[in-house]
Amino acid sequence: MTDIEGCESLQYAGEDGTRLAADVAAPRDPRRPTIVLMHGGGQTRHSWGTAARALAARGYGVVNLDARGHGDSGWSSDGRYGLDRLALDLQKVMETLPGRVALVGASMGGGTALTYVGRGHRPEAAALVLVDIVPQVE
């Protein structure tokens, strides 16, 4: 069970079947998109807890996702954690979501979202919000 009112803990299957943990709230207002929240490299989905609570309280659908190898998600069996792999995981999540979806990512999560959009994965994101990312990681 999650500590976010209106959310439940769910699991998605990543690109290679890796278990991905998320706190999910169904949209209460069908005019609003579902928002996928993706954390930074040294974080978990709990870093988005306050934002997820606020969005769910306002009727948005929310998927507050732990990336593979982070938080309650599983580890990659082949040790691959690059942005291309994370974008393929995101594609698997996106395929399960009805309606419009906005992607919000911080740092690594922003890179994941940008890679997803840049590679032309389907379904398309309705919006992209990038927080604290740089064009090239050193």
Q: What is the pLDDT of residue 116?
A: 97
Q: What is the 3-state secondary structure (H, E, C) of 37-103?
A: EECCCCCCHHHHHHHHHHHHHCCCEEEEECCCCCCCCCCCCCCCCCHHHHHHHHHHHHCCCCCCEEE
Q: What is the pLDDT of residue 134?
A: 79
Q: What is the pLDDT of residue 1?
A: 45
What is the pLDDT tens value at each position of the chain, 138 positions in all?
456 666 799 999 999 999 999 999 999 888 899 999 999 999 999 999 999 999 999 999 999 999 999 999 999 999 999 999 999 999 999 999 989 999 999 999 999 999 999 999 999 999 999 999 877 767
What global pTM score does this model have? Answer: 0.93
Q: What is the pLDDT of residue 4?
A: 65
Q: Which amino acid is at 8?
A: E
**Residue found by looking up tokens 């190898």 in the block:** 69
Distance CA 101, CA 63 (A): 10
